[in-house]
Amino acid sequence: RIADGAIHLAKDEGGDCFRLGTAEDSVSARDRLSLEADLREAVEQHAFEVYYQPQVDPVSQELRGVEALLRWRHAERGSVSPVDFIPLLEETGLIVPVGEWVLEQSCQQVQTWIADGYSPIRMAVNLSPRQLMVPGLGRMVRGILERTGLQPELLELELTETTASLTMDAVIEVLHELHAIGITIAIDDFGIGHSWLGRLRQFPIQPLKIDRSFIHGMDQSAGDRAIVEAVVALGHALGLTVVAEGVESERDLDMVRQVGCNLMQGYYYSPAVDAVTMASMMREEAAHRAAA
């Protein structure tokens, strides 16, 4: 069973690679069965919710965008972290309908905020590798933009390096197609995935989001700081916006300012919050800016 799980993982990542199965996976194998049943139920009962985490300018602290993050409220398990269930959604293919729901929900949310009088805000939504591989992704995204009426310029799609490393011609084509209608493509968790610097040129990407492990590490490790500096330099040389993920402290913020990241996201400013809380943050921010 462990080996089978590893094979599935390898296949899901596009094959032509190996993945190690561990005993840890097998302990959770039983858990996973019940988790999977619960997930299917959650999909039917719409037990998911989208939270939003602000992205701010590290210097002016102005709000520049939000990232949509999926949350699952489970009766017994409490609030389950997406880290624990996204892989399973991906394995089961449920990520396709759930991901589409997240996208529609998030686009609709921006429109609702705008209708409520808030300034238009850019919305970043995560896409899983699995979603990219489904034919008709472009059509699905355009359909959602049409239904919600969201301006494509306000939508950003986040891919991870691993996703991007799939480099399937069809995927590259869709990304260019989405980019052409005004959507922004971001690379998430930059630095921890497969190395594909050479491929950067092939993608119509705009922001690079530096994985939070490097951001925290900067404080302690000259090596991490060097990596972040190099990524910022690389990003800027390519004309990209560079986003720091996981800014948790004043110290992290200082570092992020020093190395010149354009945007930051993290608990220091705010964790992901529900739409109502997000709206009150936008209200405060707008009032603050008007006063300044």
Binding site for ligand C2E (CB under 6 A): 53, 69-70, 81-83, 86, 95, 99, 102, 126-128, 158, 188-189, 212, 245-248, 265-267, 271-272
The Cβ of residue 247 has, within 10 Å, a number of other Cβ atoms equal to 27
CB of 115: closest distance to Mg ion in angstroms?
Answer: 26
Q: Nearer Cβ to ligand C2E, position 44 or 115?
A: 44
Q: Which tokens hold the place of 256?
A: 């992020």
CB of 245: closest distance to ligand C2E in angstroms?
Answer: 6
Residue, CB closest to ligand C2E: 266
Q: Nearer Cβ to ligand C2E, position 5 or 266?
A: 266
Q: Nearer Cβ to ligand C2E, position 78 or 198?
A: 78
Contact yes or no for 110/275 (Cβ under 8 A)? no
Which residues from 217-256 bind Mg ion, rule CB under 5 A? 245
- Examine residue 55 and tell whether it contacts Mg ion (CB under 5 A): no
Per partner kind, with CB cut-offs from 5 to 8 A, the member of ligand C2E, Mg ion, none near residue 231 is: none
CB of 195: closest distance to ligand C2E in angstroms?
Answer: 18
Per partner kind, with CB cut-offs from 5 to 8 A, the member of Mg ion, ligand C2E, none near residue 171 is: none
From residue 106, alpha-carbon distances to 58, 121, 137, 182, 285 in Å are 24, 11, 17, 17, 20
Q: Nearer Cβ to ligand C2E, position 156 or 245?
A: 245
Q: Nearer Cβ to Mg ion, position 21 or 95?
A: 95
3-state secondary structure 208-263: EEECHHHHHHCCCCHHHHHHHHHHHHHHHHCCCEEEECCCCCHHHHHHHHHHCCCE
Q: Buried b vs exposed e over 185-208: b needs ≥16 C-beta within 10 Å?
A: bbbbbbbebeebeeebeebebbbb
Among 13, 38, 90, 189, binds Mg ion (CB under 5 A): 189
CB of 54: closest distance to ligand C2E in angstroms?
Answer: 10
Where are the alpha helices (H) located in 55-94, listed in sequence order? 82-92
Q: Nearer Cβ to Mg ion, position 126 or 163?
A: 126
- Cβ-in-10-Å burial (0-12, 13-18, 19+) of 14 comes to middle
Per-residue interface string for the shown chain with Mg ion, residues 149-188, x marking contact by CB under 5 A: ---------x-----------------------------x
CB of 280: closest distance to ligand C2E in angstroms?
Answer: 19
Residues 6 or more apart whose Cβ sits within 8 Å of residue 178: 138, 141, 157, 185
With residues binned 3-state (H G I as helix, E B as strand, rest as coil), the percentages for the chain, rounded to 5, are 55, 20, 25
- What is the contact surface with Mg ion in residues (CB under 5 A)? 126, 158, 188-189, 245
